[in-house]
Copies of this chain bind each other. A is one copy, B any other.
Amino acid sequence: MSETQNYIQENKQRFLDELCDLLKIASISADPAYSKDVLNCADAVAKHLKEAGADQVEVCETKGYPIVYGEKIIDPKLPTVLVYGHYDVQPPDPLELWESGPFEPVIKTTPLHPEGAVFARGSADDKGQFFMHVKAFEAMMKTNSLPCNVKFIIEGEEEVGSESLGDWISENKEKLKNDVILISDTHIYSNEQPTVTTGLRGLSYVEVEVEGPNRDLHSGLYGGAVPNPIHVLSRMVAQLIDEDGRITIDGFYDNVEEVSLEERAEMNKLKDDPEGFKKSIGLNGVEGEKGYTTLERTSIRPTLDANGIWGGYTGEGAKTVIPSKAFAKISMRLVPYQTPEEITEKFTKYFHKIAPENVKVKVTPHHGGMPYVLPSDSEEFQAAKKAMEKAFGKEVLPYRSGGSIPITALFEQVLGSKSVLMGFGLDSDAIHSPNEHYGLFNFYKGIESIPYFFEYYTDLKK
């Protein structure tokens, strides 16, 4: 194994250069204007897999963007690790807040990253993270140390709900047969306190529309006498959360897993710097559901957030209009045992219920995803913990994350295997935000940890 680690050390700079080339491709799946870039990115990923030593590499067509597949079967009797990642990225707007181009990667140091970090859209989510697997695989191949079989699926629709993935894995069950799924698309608690993610929240995402008058009206001639959709929508959005920070949707909390006081006490040991948290995002006060800490609010509790709102005149200067319609995008993070179908239905019913009679409302569901939990006494978790402890030289703790990777529940359902969420980002990486970055320390620790995981996991399965 030390030969593998040596190979990694000797090729560090090239690994980083290759990552930077990948980050230059604007593979924004949400915006059809970038479809060519998304396709180009799939081709680039396939090329990397081939060069690293994978067989059967294929850019698999779907109804949406392709899924890149590759494998190395060294012995059918040995266990198989399925690596999942995604090559698509979030839209980079607002562009004016980026200090350098989102698709012109640059290396800069920051207080948290004295060894440097690569700044670009997708650096942490998820190009920089899935690419660690490609490079760790290359290292094991070049040093003849791959201890088990490996399969890769790198998809291009994660940021828009992985819509094609479900059908595709159902159709390719046999080909994708595996013992465990390994995913790096989460973050650790800090570089000083590495963690393995043992829980993820689910997601329900809807778009709402409020229609008042059937056309835009002059606010001088009609103002004060008709329902203004902006006001109606504002009142309705305000009404979704009460003064105690509780979501008011009927039955919203019905199926929520109540975490025991012991587990809550244990978990709250982790986050010990509320002032640092506030300072890191420029706030003098936080808010949320009464009776829970910030850490709990972002992990074991379901939440609701408007992610976008728009209506009327939003350009420069002044326009005195009452718009016909106003819109919002609203997402809800779910915890075990809520389901996106259940919550989307409850939201839709409630949103219609609270709408005043003199407007029309419409709710359009976007993608959703199930919450996920990996027990910390499972052998999958233990292999990851041990691997990261070897690479970091520190104790590794279990950690519940607030984010969502909807496909973990899908994998378990269709392929019958557990996902190990061995991510290496930091929550300060600004994923989905301007100036997304990924620490070089984290990138390299990831590449170092992965071969150890393969080794320990194979040992455990013997």
Contact = CB atoms under 8 A, between A and B. Distances in A.
A238 B229 CA distance: 11
A211 to B, nearest CB: 8
Contacts of A322: 305, 307
Contacts of A234: 233-235, 237-238, 306, 309
Interface in A179-206: 187, 201, 203, 205
Interface string A397-423: 000011110000000000000000000
Interface bin, chain A = 35 or more
A285 B227 contact: yes
Interface stretch (A326-334, A372-380, A450-458): A326-334
A289 B225 CA distance: 8
A5 interface: no
Question: How many copies make up the complex?
Answer: 2
A319 to B, nearest CB: 6
Interface stretch (A68-76, A106-114, A212-220, A339-347): A212-220
Contacts of A297: 224-225
Interface string A300-311: 011111111111
Contacts of A94: 216
A401 B30 contact: no
B316 A31 contact: yes
A325 to B, nearest CB: 9
A318 B207 CA distance: 9
A283 interface: yes
Nearest to A311: B309
Given A160-B317, A307-B321, 17 more contacts: A31-B316, A159-B319, A213-B281, A216-B432, A218-B431, A218-B432, A219-B305, A219-B333, A225-B288, A226-B286, A230-B306, A230-B307, A230-B308, A308-B312, A309-B312, A313-B329, A321-B432
